[in-house]
Amino acid sequence: MSDVRQYAKEVSDWIDEIMAYLERIDITDSTVLANIERLSQWTNDLVAEEIDYENMVLIEEEMARVYEEIEEIARDLSTQQRQTQSVPIGKHTLPPLPYAYNALEPTISEEIMYLHHDKHHQTYVDGLNKAELMMKNARETKDYSLLKHWEKEAAFHGSGHYLHTIFWEGMIPRGGGQPKGDLLKQIEKDFGSFAAFKNHFSEAAKQVEGVGWAILVWVPRARKLEILQSELHMILTQWDTIPVLVLDVWEHAYYLQYKNNRASYVDKWWDVVNWPQTALRFTEAKKLTWKQQ
């Protein structure tokens, strides 16, 4: 297969992933769909090898524009949902992946993504729902004899559910590189440079004792970014901080592919980081203002 045809296939696969995502979130915006259709036609021309390198650059720019349009639509939809909906007790649901199971290959395999999302994350959703319902029952019956157990279950499974949701959103096919704008400026201010931040975050992930997470958080009271570790889903974290970027280093996140080489998994994970989504979380987190301590 020629380089042009291989590139065309990658673009076509990306278009299929985007269309599947739009269908999942029920978006039919005519402008976005028209731009995707134009991009698809350019890809067909690529297959016929009728486009030169300069046109391939134009395709990359169009892909970036389409992605930005979809990000804006998703942000608006998310804001509307937050403003109008709350989750009833015991009714949490598994959020769909914003991409196909194989979309993050070769960094993360399709098999891992399926098991991690559909099996492991679902377990945390189920555990949180059960804990909430049991605590509701305790309030209604005034029988608090097992409350300590169910509070622990809610902390463990709830943290697992919420961190995994951030984890999926924090990755994207053809991601990586480094952030731009305000997020990059804040990283440089708080860590000295992006390279220093990346090294610090990677080492935090590699050195989590047992299983857990590396977490970049915004600290509203200090007005700065910090890097934390969490054992399990909820131990060693700080209160009153907002997760901005998270990396799962439980063995189920990488073992089938990387065996016991967590370091290799961490190093390659940077290739799929979704910096636009991370920047959005950072922007929203900064809106929370407390008195500095």
Q: Do β-strands 242-248 and 224-231 pair in parallel, antiparallel, or remain unpaired?
A: unpaired
Please name the residues in contact with 95: beta carbons below 8 A apart, sequence gap of 6 or more: 165, 168
Which range of 35-44, 56-65, 281-290 scores highest in mean pLDDT? It is 281-290
Domains, the chain, ordered by start:
3-84 (no CATH), 110-169 (1.10.287.990), 181-286 (3.55.40.20)
Query: Helical H runs in the chain?
Result: 3-24, 30-47, 53-84, 110-114, 122-141, 147-169, 181-191, 194-206, 255-258, 262-269, 275-286
pTM, to two decimals: 0.73
Please report where in the chains the tokens 């570790």 appear, as a residue: 229
| pLDDT value, residue 57 | 72
What is the rounded distance in angstroms from the CA atom of residue 169 to the CA atom of residue 248?
13
Top pLDDT among 109 and 46 is at: 109
Coil vs helix vs strand at 74: helix
* DSSP assignment letter at 273: B
pLDDT number for residue 1: 45
Cα(125)–Cα(156) distance, integer angstroms = 11
- State CA 6 to chain mean position distance: 27
Among candidate residues 224, 276, 290, 213, the one with its CA nearest the CA of residue 247: 213
Cα–Cα distance, 229 to 238 (Å, whole number) = 9
pLDDT (0 to 100) of residue 257: 97
pLDDT tens column, 272-292: 999 999 999 999 999 988 876
pLDDT of residue 85: 74
- Distances in Å between the alpha carbon of 48 and those of 5, 8, 45, 70, 209? 8, 10, 5, 28, 53
Q: Is the pLDDT of residue 4 over 90?
A: no
Cα distance between residue 291 and residue 226, in whole Å: 18
Give the HSE-up count for residue 47: Cα atoms under 13 Å, Cβ half-sphere. Answer: 10
What is the reported pLDDT for 73? 72
DSSP 98: S
CB neighbour list of residue 194: distance below 8 Å, 6 or more residues apart:
178, 179, 184, 187, 188
pLDDT in tens, 138-182: 999 999 999 999 999 999 999 999 999 999 999 999 999 999 999
SS3 assignment, position 104: coil
Q: How confident is the model at residue 52 (pLDDT cuts 50, 70, 90)?
A: low
Q: pLDDT tens digits for 182-212?
A: 999 999 999 999 999 999 999 999 999 999 9
Residue 77: the pLDDT is 67
Percent of the chain scored above 90 by pLDDT?
66
Query: pLDDT by residue (tens digit) across 217-270?
Result: 999 999 999 999 999 999 999 999 999 999 999 999 999 999 999 999 999 999
